[in-house]
């Protein structure tokens, strides 16, 4: 059965390959290279001369004696401008120079986070900033987005559009904290772990509701997802006002931090990168297991076959209906864990709509990663970094011509990046062929 399903999936994958028009790839190189050249010129001509000519530093650990890299912002940004001009020309000439120039473009994109920080320090009164701490914050804030994107993968790879990730996470967060407040007064350790389990189960129940609406009753899957979101919003608002607030336990004790043996003892970065909380570390395991099961096991192959051509999958003996139910509910369990992160790990309390569109950003991360686990994880890191960066930029109090940029401007940064990604900045992404299409089993 596995080999037959493999043939179905392979055949469908071949049929879904998009035929590129002659010269289309080269045209994209020209546009991207030209954009990098323009960026370099702007940095050299307009940005670098207007930065403070005082020594600033990227710090790798905490005071009083931090390891740091010192620089002067005008020099740093000027050299960055020259670097981007060079990378831009290499990208434009990629067809002549070879595909190795792709690595130069990747290096240019990877360098941008440091460039943004350098420009911010060049317009700030602070002498430096901790870049390792910023990386840790990015990984921490990427946790619910990465988990949510894995939820989306398990749903959409099997053919079910899941707009309800936001509501699933919110419902799990609210009910989990209510359990923690009522059973353990927000302080008992055993009640904390019980509440995490409750969050996972609640996520599965919300996903089961989505699956029933989409698979059993054939309701439009986008509308079904919106129903999940509205249900969670109303339900958690009621539970907070009528149960959590009246319980008197507005804040609890969050999940404890712990260090990974040996790794947490690495000098300079060990106590920052390898000390954290359990759901944050579990996120890496979930991403790895999603990749392993979905792409390296027969059952994962069946899941993907159901999302590409369910009728062909059925002809080789795959129970498409059951596979879809199982995959969607599995994704719901993961979303429930993300909900627990919000109310039991990040803040140890519950607020109305506290997920703050993380479920929708998770969908954008999944699209960014072209429906692959590691690509979606990279997208989650991008959005996590944007969230951490906007907080850091507020702390640096960046000003332009004496006008301090308001915090509201920086707070929109993660959503602006989401719009850019969804609008197709990273190129066209092709979803599973049968995504969103109702399926009726043969009689």
With bands split at pLDDT 50, 70 and 90, how would you rate the model's confidence at 15?
very low
pLDDT tens per residue across span 286-323: 999 999 999 999 999 999 999 999 999 999 999 999 99
Cβ-count burial 165-186 (b if 16+ within 10 Å, e if not): bbbbbbbbbbbbbbbbbeebeb
pLDDT of residue 92: 86
Q: What are phi and psi of 399, to 5 degrees?
A: -130, 150
Tell me: do 81 and 173 sit in the same domain. no
The residue behind tokens 């028009």 is 21
Instruction: Give this prediction's pTM.
Output: 0.88
Per-residue tokens: 330: 């599995």
Q: Are residues 204 and 335 in the same domain?
A: yes
Element (H, E) at 209: helix 189-211
* 326-385: pLDDT as tens digits: 999 999 999 999 999 999 999 899 999 999 999 999 999 999 888 999 999 999 998 998
Could you give the CA distance from residue 438 to residue 171 in angstroms, rounded to a whole number? Answer: 26
Domain end residue (candidates: 74, 98, 123) = 123
Q: What is the mean pLDDT of residues 49-57?
A: 93
Q: Is residue 324 part of a domain?
A: yes
Task: Specify if 13 maps to a domain.
Answer: no
CB-based contacts of 209: which residues, under 8 Å, 6+ apart?
228, 231
Among residues 91, 123, 155, the one where a domain terminates is 123
Indicate whether 218 pLDDT > 50.
Answer: yes
- Are residues 117 and 145 located together in one domain of the fold? no
Q: C-alpha distances in angstroms, 84 versus 32, 81, 402, 421?
A: 11, 5, 28, 22
pLDDT at 161: 95
Residue 135 near residue 346 (C-beta atoms within 8 A):
no
The predicted structure's pLDDT at residue 428: 62
Q: Look at residues 123, 148, 166 and tell me which one is the last residue of a structural domain.
A: 123
**Do 105 and 28 fall into the same domain?**
yes
Mean pLDDT of all residues in the chain?
88
Residue 121 has pLDDT above 70, yes or no: yes
Residues 213 and 79 in one domain: no
- What is the reported pLDDT for 139? 93
Domain check: are 112 and 179 in the same one? no
Q: Do 201 and 330 fall into the same domain? A: yes
| Residue 20 in this model has a pLDDT that exceeds 50 | no
- As a whole number of Å, the CA-based R_g of the chain is 24
Q: Does the residue 312 lie in any domain?
A: yes
| pLDDT number for residue 426 | 53
Residues 60, 117, single domain; the answer is yes
Q: What is the model's pLDDT at position 70?
A: 93
Condensed to tens digits (0 to 9), the pLDDT of residues 179-195 reads 999 998 988 999 999 99
274 within a domain of the structure (yes/no)? yes
Q: Which domain holds residue 324?
A: 136-422
- Most confident region among 102-116, 135-149, 384-398 by mean pLDDT: 135-149
Mean pLDDT of 59-69: 79
Residue 287 lies in a domain: yes
Same domain, 280 and 418: yes
pLDDT recorded at residue 238: 96
Q: Count structural domains, the chain.
A: 2
Q: pLDDT tens for residues 225-262?
A: 999 999 999 999 999 999 999 999 989 999 999 999 88
User: With 70 as the cut, is the pLDDT of residue 443 above it?
Assistant: no
Instruction: Output 175 or 100, whichever has higher pLDDT.
Output: 175
82 and 167, same domain (yes or no): no
pLDDT for the residue numbered 4? 43
Question: How sure is the predictor about 18, in pLDDT bands with cuts at 50, 70 and 90?
Answer: very low
In a domain, 442, yes or no: no
The model's confidence at residue 93, banded by pLDDT at 50, 70 and 90, is confident
| pLDDT beyond 50 at 217 | yes
Same domain, 156 and 304: yes
Residue 158 lies inside a defined structural domain of this protein: yes
Do 144 and 41 lie in one domain? The reply is no
Per-residue model confidence (pLDDT) at position 272: 83
Q: What is the CATH number of the domain that holds 293?
A: 1.10.3470
The answer to the question of residue 276 being in a domain is: yes
């Amino acid at each position: 059965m596995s080999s037959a399903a493999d043939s179905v999936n392979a055949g469908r994958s071949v049929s879904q390959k998009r035929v590129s028009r002659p010269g289309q790839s080269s045209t994209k190189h020209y546009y991207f290279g030209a954009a990098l050249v323009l960026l370099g010129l702007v940095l050299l001509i307009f940005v670098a001369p207007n930065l403070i000519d005082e020594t600033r530093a990227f710090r790798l650990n905490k005071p009083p004696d931090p390891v740091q890299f010192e620089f002067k912002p005008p020099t740093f940004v000027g050299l960055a401008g020259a670097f981007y001009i060079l990378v831009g020309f290499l990208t434009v000439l990629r067809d002549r120079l070879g595909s190795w120039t792709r690595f130069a473009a990747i290096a240019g994109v990877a360098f941008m986070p440091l460039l943004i920080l350098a420009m911010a320090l060049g317009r700030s009164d602070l002498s430096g900033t901790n870049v390792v701490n910023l990386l840790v914050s990015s990984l921490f804030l990427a946790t619910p987005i990465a988990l949510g994107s894995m939820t989306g993968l398990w749903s959409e790879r099997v053919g079910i559009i899941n707009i309800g990730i936001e509501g699933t996470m919110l419902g799990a967060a609210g009910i989990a904290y209510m359990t923690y407040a009522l059973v353990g007064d927000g302080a008992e350790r055993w009640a904390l772990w019980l509440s995490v389990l409750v969050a996972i189960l609640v996520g599965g129940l919300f996903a089961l509701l989505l699956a029933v609406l989409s698979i059993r009753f054939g309701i439009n899957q986008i509308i079904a997802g919106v129903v999940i979101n509205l249900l969670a919003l109303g339900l958690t608002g009621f539970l907070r006002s009528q149960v959590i607030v009246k319980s008197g336990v507005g804040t609890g004790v969050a999940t404890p931090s712990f260090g990974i043996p040996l790794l947490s003892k690495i000098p300079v970065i060990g106590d920052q990168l390898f000390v954290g909380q359990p759901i944050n570390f579990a996120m890496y395991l979930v991403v790895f297991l999603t990749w392993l099961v979905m792409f390296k096991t027969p059952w994962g192959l069946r899941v993907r076959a159901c999302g590409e051509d369910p009728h062909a999958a059925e002809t080789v003996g795959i129970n498409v209906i059951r596979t879809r139910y199982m995959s969607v509910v599995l994704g719901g369990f993961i979303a429930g864990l993300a909900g627990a992160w919000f109310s039991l790990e990040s803040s140890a309390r519950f607020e109305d709509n506290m997920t703050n569109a993380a479920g929708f950003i998770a969908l954008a991360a999944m699209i960014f990663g072209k429906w692959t686990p590691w690509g979606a994880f990279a997208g989650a890191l991008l959005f996590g970094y944007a969230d951490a960066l906007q907080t850091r930029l507020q702390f640096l109090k960046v000003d332009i011509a004496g006008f301090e940029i308001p915090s509201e401007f920086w707070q929109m940064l993660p959503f602006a990046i989401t719009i850019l990604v969804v609008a197709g900045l990273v190129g066209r992404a092709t979803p599973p062929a049968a995504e969103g299409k109702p399926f009726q089993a043969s009689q």
